[in-house]
Amino acid sequence: MRSSVGRMYAITIPEPGGPEALVWSEVPDAVAGEGEVLVEVVASAVNRADILQRQGFYNPPPGASPYPGLECSGRIAEIGPGVSGWAVGDEVCALLAGGGYAEKVAVPAGQLLPVPKGLDVRRAAALPEVVCTVWSNVFMIAHLRPGETLLVHGGSSGIGTMAIQLAKAVGAKVAVTAGTPEKLDRCAELGADILINYREQDFVEEVRKATDGAGADVILDNMGAKYLDRNIQALAVNGRLAIIGMQGGVKGELNIATLLNKRAAISATSLRARPVGEKTAIVAAVREHVWPLVDAGHIRPVVDRELPMSDAAAAHRIVEESGHIGKVLLVGQ
């Protein structure tokens, strides 16, 4: 379907609901404002947050596009006022506050990254959200160091597959949890050292066993309340728990004594709502520290499959049922 002049196609959510709530619709063109560029989208990728948005539980932050999509890749179609360092036609990928499931999206220039060397522009869409989330939480906040142990919950998720690769690249030991042997095998291929099936094993016990009783120095947690107590138990002395998800609920009970005795720290962040200035700083750090690893081929996006963007509903069904490993891409028409 071709859009009329001044209009484009995007996935809209007329009413919150199941995957069928995602509708490929004609909408007004995105416009690059001050400090922004307009990107013609080649691909976007599904994040768990998109599912929450579709269900009506996660509204876009003020000023963000109403359409889902927290990352994209594509080509710069227009440069807005006050932007330098980028040119029309540049192949880029971008961290977004929304709007990636569309033919075009306006992006603050500080949230752009060049498509890494040797990587197809489509696959670059799988990188910005996971790389920025993992880098900002595991490295900028929790300061994972070489030789330390990182426990990643949901090791085969988009986030998990990137966390394994980044932690291994800096010389850390990596423990992962996942729900099937096949997913754990894939984590091992990416470099994970300690494989824990969360349906059959107790991760606290397994992490202790594998670290001579010490525990994990850093934990990247997607579960929130359900794992709070056990995460603290699994932490080493001076350990850091970085919470990025609430898949196991929002209210938990914390044993302060254990936290004190371990001199441990807990952080919790959401990337989407952070101001453009903070995202710009994270993207700059990613470009400096992570992009050389991607350019050199040491880190690669893990792409489960590619679907047409107009069939975003099918992609959401797969991610909701955890039928994927890594990322599900949505490719434009």
By CB under 6 A, name the binding residues for ligand NAP: 47-49, 129, 133, 153-154, 156-160, 177-180, 183, 198, 222-223, 244-245, 247, 269-271, 319, 322
> What number of helices (H) and strands (E) belong to the chain?
10, 15
Q: How far apart are CB 162 and ligand NAP at their closest, in Å?
A: 8
One-letter identity of residue 12 = T
Q: How far apart are CB 286 and ligand NAP at their closest, in Å?
A: 14
**Which residue lies nearest ligand NAP, judged by its C-beta?**
245
Nearer to ligand NAP, 101 or 198 (CB): 198
φ, ψ of residue 195 in degrees (nearest 5): -110, 125
Spatial separation of the C-alpha atoms in residues 65 and 117, rounded to whole Å? 29
- CA torsion 185-190-194-197 (nearest 10°) is -40
Nearer to ligand NAP, 178 or 232 (CB): 178
Nearer to ligand NAP, 179 or 191 (CB): 179
Q: How far apart are CB 206 and ligand NAP at their closest, in Å?
A: 13
Nearer to ligand NAP, 119 or 219 (CB): 219
One-letter identity of residue 295 = D
Nearer to ligand NAP, 47 or 65 (CB): 47
Q: How far apart are CB 236 and ligand NAP at their closest, in Å?
A: 19
Q: How far apart are CB 204 and ligand NAP at their closest, in Å?
A: 12
Beta pairing partners, 327? 303
Beta pairing partners, 151? 175, 219
Nearer to ligand NAP, 109 or 246 (CB): 246
Are 300 and 287 spatial neighbours (Cβ–Cβ below 8 Å)? no
Are 36 and 107 spatial neighbours (Cβ–Cβ below 8 Å)? yes
Q: Where are the beta strands (DSSP E) in 183-324?
A: 194-197, 216-221, 235-243, 265-268, 303-308
Q: How far apart are CB 132 and ligand NAP at their closest, in Å?
A: 8
